[in-house]
Chains A and B, each alone.
Chain A
Amino acid sequence: MGKLPSGAFAMDRDGKVVVSTLPQSFPESQMREIADRVMAFFKGAQNAQMPLHELNVYYPSLKVTARNLRGGALIFLSPQTLPKS
Chain B
Amino acid sequence: MGSTVATARSKILLVDDDQDFLEVYWEILKRLPSGPEVHTASSGARALALLESDPFNLLIVDLNMPKMDGLQVIAIARRKYPQLKIVVWTCIADEQFRARAYGMGVDQYWQKPSSEQERQHFLDSVESVLQREVQGGFRGVQSKSLVDLIQLECLSQNSTTLRIKNGALNGRIWIQAGELIDAEAEDLKGEAAFRQILGWKAGSFELLPGDENRPRAIFSAYQALLLEIAQAMDEASHAGVDGEPLQMSEDAASPLMGLTRFNGVQFILSVGPKPRCEIKSWGLETPDHVSEWAQESLKSFADLGDWLQVGPLQQVTAMSPASHVALAESVKGDLCVGFRSTLKSDEVRETMRNILAKWTS
- A residues contacting B by CB (< 8 A) are 1, 4, 30, 33-34, 37, 40-41, 44-45, 47-62
Q: A60-B310, A60-B311 are in contact. Are A49 and B300 (CB under 8 A)?
A: no
**Inside 8 A of A51's CB, which chain B residues have their CB?**
66, 320, 322
**B279 to nearest A CB, angstroms?**
13
Known: A58-B349, A59-B313. A44 touches B319 (CB 8 A): no
B308 is an interface residue with CB less than 8 A from chain A = yes
A53/B297 in contact, CB under 8 A: no
Query: Are B310 and A59 neighbours in the complex by a CB distance under 8 Å?
Result: yes
Contact pattern, B 308-333, Cβ under 8 Å of A = 1, otherwise 0:
11111111111111110100000000
Given A49-B92, A50-B320, A61-B310, answer yes or no on A37-B301 (Cβ-Cβ < 8 Å). yes
Whose C-beta in chain A lies nearest to the C-beta of B321? A53
Give the Cβ gap from A63 to chain B, nearest Cβ, in Å: 9
Q: Does the CB pair A54–B305 fall under 8 Å?
A: no
| Option from B297, B312, B319 in Cβ contact (under 8 Å) with A59 | B312
Interface residues in B172-220 by Cβ distance below 8 A to A read: none
Total inter-chain residue pairs, C-beta < 8 Å? 96
Q: Do B314 and A60 have beta carbons less than 8 Å apart?
A: yes
Measured in the bound complex, the distance between the Cα atoms of B309 and A61 in whole Å is 9
For chain B, the count of residues having a C-beta within 8 Å of the partner chain is 36
Bound state CA distance, A50 and B319, in angstroms? 10
- With A51-B66, A60-B314 known as contacts, the answer to whether A40 contacts B300 (CB < 8 A) is yes
A57 and B313 within 8 A (CB): yes
Let me know if A59 and B289 touch, CB within 8 A: no
Q: How far is the CB of B152 from chain A (nearest CB, A)?
A: 22
**Chain A residue at minimal CB-CB distance from B324:** A52
In contact, B308 and A47 (Cβ under 8 angstroms):
no
Q: Which of A34, A45, A48, A55 contacts B304 (CB 8 A)?
A: A34
List the A residue with the shortest CB-CB distance to B353. Answer: A58
A45-B318 in contact (CB<8A): yes
Q: List 23 A-B contacts (CB under 8 A).
A: A34-B304, A37-B304, A40-B297, A40-B300, A41-B300, A44-B292, A48-B286, A48-B289, A49-B285, A50-B338, A52-B325, A54-B320, A55-B317, A57-B304, A57-B315, A58-B316, A58-B317, A59-B308, A59-B310, A59-B314, A60-B314, A61-B311, A62-B311
Q: How far is the CB of B356 from chain A (nearest CB, A)?
A: 12
Distance in angstroms between the alpha carbons of A83 and B126 in the assembled complex: 63
Instruction: Please report which residues of chain B, range 271-306, place their CB below 8 angstroms from some CB of chain A when the two chains form the complex.
Output: 285-286, 289-290, 292-293, 296-297, 300-301, 304-305
Q: Are B345 and A56 in contact (CB under 8 A)?
A: yes
A55 contacts which chain B residues (CB < 8 A)?
316-319
B321 partner residues in chain A, CB cutoff 8 A: 53
Residues on A with C-beta less than 8 A from B312 are 59-60
A58 to B319, CA, bound (A): 14
- The answer to whether B289 touches A47, judged by C-beta atoms less than 8 angstroms apart, is yes
Encoded as 1 (CB less than 8 Å from any A CB) or 0, chain B from 248 to 289 comes to 000000000000000000000000000000000000011001
Complex CA gap A52/B297 in Å reads 13
When the two chains form their complex, are residues A48 and B290 in contact, meaning their CB atoms are under 8 A apart? yes
Question: Which residues does chain B contribute within 8 Å of A49, judged by CB atoms?
Answer: 64, 92, 285-286, 289
Q: Name which residue of chain A comes closest to B306, CB basis.
A: A59
